[in-house]
Amino acid sequence: MADEVLATRAPESDAQEVSGIEGDTKPDQGAASMGEITKFNDTEVYITKPADYPHAPSKLLLLLTGGTGVHSTNNQLQADKYAGEGFLVVMPDQFAGDPAPTTTTSSGPAEAHPSIIEQVKLGVASVAKSFTIDMWLARHTPEKVLPILHKVITSVKEEFADAVANGGGIYAVGYCFGAKYVLLLGSSALHQLDSAHVHVRAPESDAEEGIVKQGPQIKCGAIAHGTQISQQDMAEASVPMCVVAVEDDPLFPDRVRNEGLEAMKAKKLDHEFRVYPDVPHGFAVLGDYADGGIVEKQGEAFEQMLGWLKRH
């Protein structure tokens, strides 16, 4: 249970605290994104395309970000990498203009031995930050996020029907916050939403209320270091799924991952699962890490997810 508490209170950022700094890691010097921001059904989306599209066929990839959202340079560069591999990428704003807060616990350099007063100040700041994150997460629950994604998917199927048809459906990748929603979009269960949870409706109640059960909204998915994922989310996945995880990650606890993996195996779902050691939560999102080992594994994770998409 402690793991679940940590998972809901931790910052939703592309990169967990690295060298005392929270939020996006710095992009490469001079790096600039290649796509554009537009709107589908009143939702901002970042769209980036292969250089030869539409003259050459492409496949449609839905990219769901961590809490930093569509205006993060790192997220845009991540989307551009997939576009460079032949995918037409649509990255929607899941947060309706309200990305995760990126407050830090200290505005000055860290002291080797902070005074008692400084320790108290840091503690208060940490509590305030946790409260701020909790409030943000409370504003972005499945009953708020899923309708946004469904509207974007409806628009995408119309706007880029050629790419959807060429791939035989929509591919999806999700990082951090977005990983849970790749699993939900890849589920064949019909979800009833309330103010706190996502529930699976019983088939008999669906029939009684005249509700038509829809199939998965995506063809296959790949997720990296997810947050707020339950064992049920993984068990209900019904499309091929690639899972990139971080060793000893309190945001995606071992118990949840292992039980979810066993559920995938039991239903013979096509899947690929890899746990990366010695990396922070958020490592798979493009960023300028000083640690060469993290950079190397970042590249490995991208190739793993890219390879999965291309094989399906």
Residues 196-240 pLDDT 10s: 344 444 444 444 443 344 679 999 999 999 999 999 999 999 999
DSSP at 18? B
Q: How far apart are CA 97 and CA 179, in angstroms?
A: 19
DSSP at 109? P
Of 222, 195, 261, 214, the C-alpha closest to 62 is 222
pLDDT bucket at 110, cuts 50 / 70 / 90: very low
Q: Tell me the average pLDDT of the chain.
A: 81
Is residue 240 reached through a cis peptide bond, with omega within 30 degrees of 0 on the bond before it? no
Q: How far apart are CA 79 and CA 304, in angstroms?
A: 15
| Minimum mean pLDDT range among 3-17, 221-235, 251-265 | 3-17
266 by Cβ neighbours in 10 Å (0-12 / 13-18 / 19+) ranks as exposed
Residue 117 above 70 pLDDT? no
Q: Give the model's pLDDT for residue 6.
A: 31
Residue 30 above 60 pLDDT? no
| Minimum mean pLDDT range among 43-52, 61-70, 119-128 | 119-128
Residue 109 above 70 pLDDT? no
Q: Are strands 87-92 and 43-48 parallel, antiparallel or unpaired?
A: antiparallel
Residue 282 above 70 pLDDT? yes
Q: Are strands 220-224 and 271-276 parallel, antiparallel or unpaired?
A: unpaired
**Are 191 and 198 in contact, with CB atoms under 8 Å apart?**
yes
| Minimum mean pLDDT range among 22-26, 55-59, 104-108, 185-189 | 104-108
* 259 three-state secondary structure: helix
Q: For the whole model, what pTM was predicted?
A: 0.81
Of 167, 15, 18, 150, the C-alpha closest to 82 is 167
* Number of helical (H) and strand (E) elements in the chain, helices listed first: 10, 10
pLDDT bucket at 31, cuts 50 / 70 / 90: confident
**Domain locations in the chain?**
2-311
In this predicted model, what pLDDT tens digit does every residue of 137-173 receive, in sequence order?
A: 999 999 999 999 999 999 999 999 999 999 999 999 9
* 21 three-state secondary structure: strand
| C-alpha dihedral (279, 284, 285, 286), degrees to nearest 10 | 90
Q: Give the model's pLDDT for residue 188.
A: 82
Q: How far apart are CA 68 and CA 95, in angstroms?
A: 9
Of 232, 230, 219, the C-alpha closest to 270 is 219
In this predicted model, what pLDDT tens digit does every residue of 70-99 receive, in sequence order?
A: 999 999 999 999 999 999 999 999 999 999
Q: How far apart are CA 169 and CA 152, in angstroms?
A: 14
Q: How far apart are CA 170 and CA 186, in angstroms?
A: 10
Q: How far is Cα of residue 286 from the mean position of the Cα atoms in its chain?
A: 13
**Are 153 and 62 in contact, with CB atoms under 8 Å apart?**
yes
* Core vs surface per residue 169-187: b (16+ CB within 10 A) or e: bbbbbbbbbbbbbbbbbbb
| C-alpha dihedral (200, 204, 210, 213), degrees to nearest 10 | 50
**Are 145 and 181 in contact, with CB atoms under 8 Å apart?**
yes
Q: Does domain 2-311 have CATH number 3.40.50.1820?
A: yes
The share of the chain scoring above pLDDT 90, in percent, equals 67
Residue 10 above 80 pLDDT? no
Beta-carbon neighbour count of residue 120 at 10 Å?
A: 11
